[in-house]
Structure 1
Amino acid sequence: MNWTDHFSTLARYNAWATARLLDAVAQVSDEDYRRDMGLFFKSIHGTLNHLLVGEHQLWFVRFAEGTSPRVALDAELETDRHRLAQRLREGAERWAPLIADLAPTAWDGTLDYTTMRGTAVSLPFATTLAHVFNHGTHHRGQITAALTALGQPCPELDLVHMLQQEQAKP
């Protein structure tokens, strides 16, 4: 398996699914957007902020810079929903170039970082990167459940749907 190709596909999927979800979320009233929907991070807004924290403030920095920032997983980094959506879109687009620039030897190596509690950790590089994209899928699923509960339409977010769209392009 070519790890660069595999993870490039996951990065494209992450950006594609993020954009589609944010387009759907943009149709939700501010009241519903901030309503406690029983999600782990309570609201759509809280969950999107968690994605910004986890995917972009923690994991991207760990992979790109080799540093371990400290930020609360439930931090509200953006109060403005439009700015939050913009930062999520921009952040999702940063993964593909990072992956394209990785040395072939990186995939079999480790990612060494410090947890939020100060514990040094060394995990398999490729598997930990898979976690990042799986984590995003998990929370996008929570948001689509909230959209459904609010009576809002949900976008198709399956990876195979993106692949089919790509194949259909001339």
Structure 2
Amino acid sequence: MELQPHFELMASYNQWMNTKVYDVASKLTTAELSEERGAFFSSIFGTLNHLVVADTIWLKRFAMHPSSTARTLAVMIDLPMPQRLDQVMFDDLEGLKAHRRWLDTVIINWVGALTDDDLSTTLSYHNTKGVASKRCFSSLIFHFFNHQTHHRGQISTLFSQAGVDIGVTDLLALIPDEMEI
């Protein structure tokens, strides 16, 4: 099975959903975004920051992959490595939103350059606790996108608690209908 088209779909879905999330977040006040809601990262804003932290960590790891496509992630290398999973990368929604848009563009460009050879290799890295790992690169990319979906699901619930509806969130909305001829 060729995986790259699936990763392209996931990158598009990621960008589409992040746009929706930030559009809804823009309708809330700073107090509503920062309100403790019992989520793992406390608030809507805390969870949005966590997604930027985690994406930054993974993209910096992916930039170290020995493949030629890692060059598309060279922009990530000079970014500081987040020190904690709950680190606040931006303390205002507009700064966070602009960075999120930039990250989503980086992700789309990187995924578009992936090759089957890249996907069939392994990636050696250290987790945030310093534990060394060596895992299948394509499986790590699946994790990367699944992690985003997981936390956006939490954000969707937090939006519901705040009385706002994010609308359709299903990946199915981006999968084209295959009409029989």
The alignment's TM-score, normalised by the length of structure 2, stands at: 0.85
Distance in structure 2 (CA, Å) of the matches to 1:157 and 1:89: 18
Q: Give matches, 1:121-140, under 5 Å.
A: 121-140=133-152
Q: How many pairs does the alignment contain? A: 165
Q: Is the 8 A contact 1:12 1:96 kept in 2?
A: yes
What is the identity percentage for the equivalent residue pairs of Structure 1 and Structure 2? Answer: 30
Q: Secondary structure at 1:13's aligned position in 2?
A: helix
Distance in structure 2 (CA, Å) of the matches to 1:134 and 1:62: 17
Work out which of the residue numbers 63, 88, 98 in structure 1 matches 2:100.
88
Distance in structure 2 (CA, Å) of the matches to 1:7 and 1:75: 27
Distance in structure 2 (CA, Å) of the matches to 1:125 and 1:13: 20
Q: Secondary structure at 2:40's aligned position in 1?
A: coil
Q: Is the 8 A contact 1:113 1:120 kept in 2?
A: yes
Q: Which runs of 5+ in 2 are unaligned?
A: 66-76
Q: Give matches, 1:102-117, under 5 Å.
A: 102-117=114-129
**In structure 2, what is the equivalent of residue 148 of structure 1?**
160
Distance in structure 1 (CA, Å) of the matches to 2:36 and 2:140: 30
Q: Secondary structure at 2:175's aligned position in 1?
A: helix
**In structure 2, what is the equivalent of residue 24 of structure 1?**
24
Residues 70 and 35 of structure 1: CA distance in aligned 2, closer, same or farther (over 3 Å): closer
Q: Note the alpha carbon deviations across 1:9-29, whole angstroms, 9 max, x for none.
A: 111111111111111111111
Q: Is the 8 A contact 2:49 2:89 kept in 1?
A: yes
The alignment's TM-score, normalised by the length of structure 1, stands at: 0.90
Q: Does 1:58 find its partner at 2:70?
A: no
Q: Is the 8 A contact 2:51 2:151 kept in 1?
A: yes
Distance in structure 2 (CA, Å) of the matches to 1:96 and 1:131: 16
Per-residue deviation at 1:82?
0.9
Q: Note the alpha carbon deviations across 1:82-107, whole angstroms, 9 max, x for none.
A: 11011112111211211222232111
